[in-house]
Amino acid sequence: DAGVIQSPRHEVTEMGQEVTLRCKPISGHDYLFWYRQTMMRGLELLIYFNNNVPIDDSGMPEDRFSAKMPNASFSTLKIQPSEPRDSAVYFCASSSWGGLAGYNEQFFGPGTRLTVL
Amino acid sequence: KNQVEQSPQSLIILEGKNCTLQCNYTVSPFSNLRWYKQDTGRGPVSLTIMTFSENTKSNGRYTATLDADTKQSSLHITASQLSDSASYICVVSADSRGKLQFGAGTQVVVTP
């Protein structure tokens, strides 16, 4: 399996523009997570889906952020309008329920480095 | 206040030496504790995952311990190699399926 795929790997945009980040989870995984990582705040969970349904979006910072998962193999994170403080690395991760193990192991994508000027 | 505290923030060690990283947490209830390795410019990769009933788990030269009573964990790196240079992140989950609480990480630099 190719692992979690994210695109683009780098995005530079100007303040006020719309930004769309994309993620393809590992085939067969039914959980998908969006994270943001900055030097100041470390890794933060933004939102996660189970079977394409958003379960917890309490980490989404503002209404400018939205995420969708139209099917099991694709998700987007959109920022509209973007601001300089949104500059960060955005990671997507996916997992499947571990059953008797009692947990699900999350596999992270390579991330999208977003710079908003 | 972060519910997962890691120490030290950073450390430099000589190749071949051992080191131990610490993690204290206040997350409750507790489901599992994970250690991730994150190389520069890449996503985190899981090293170990421990549930309440486990107090030690190894992955090659990495050994994690867990004391659920004192809410402390450590990650021991044996015979360090240059490729061990990375950020090591302690992650605690109160929910077996979803939400993770991340520590700020310990930056390890292994020098020749």
Is A93's CB within 8 Å of B43's CB? yes
DSSP state of B1: -
Kindly report which listed range (A31-35, A88-92, B5-9, B27-31) carries the lowest average pLDDT score. B27-31
CB B102 to CB A111 under 8 A?
Answer: no
pLDDT band at A102 (very low <50, low <70, confident <90, very high): low
Chain B residues whose CB is inside 8 A of the A91 CB are: 43-44
| Band of residue B8 on the pLDDT scale cut at 50, 70, 90 | very high
Average pLDDT of chain B is 92
Q: Which residue of A has its CA nearest to B50?
A: A103
Q: What's the pLDDT score for residue B98? A: 59
Query: Best interface-test mutation with A: which of B32, B34, B36 has the largest number of A CBs within 10 A?
Result: B32
CB contact under 8 A, A103 and B89: no
Q: Is the peptide bond before B29 cis (omega within 30 degrees of 0)?
A: yes
Q: What angle do CA B87, B92, B96 make, to 5 degrees?
A: 130
List Cβ neighbours of B11 (8 Å cut-off, separation of 6 or more).
Answer: B19, B21, B106, B107, B108, B109
Instruction: Indicate if the pLDDT at residue B68 is higher than 70.
Output: yes
Q: Which two tokens stand for residue A48?
A: 């996660």
Q: Which residues of chain B does A111 touch, with a Cβ-Cβ cutoff of 8 Å?
A: 41-43
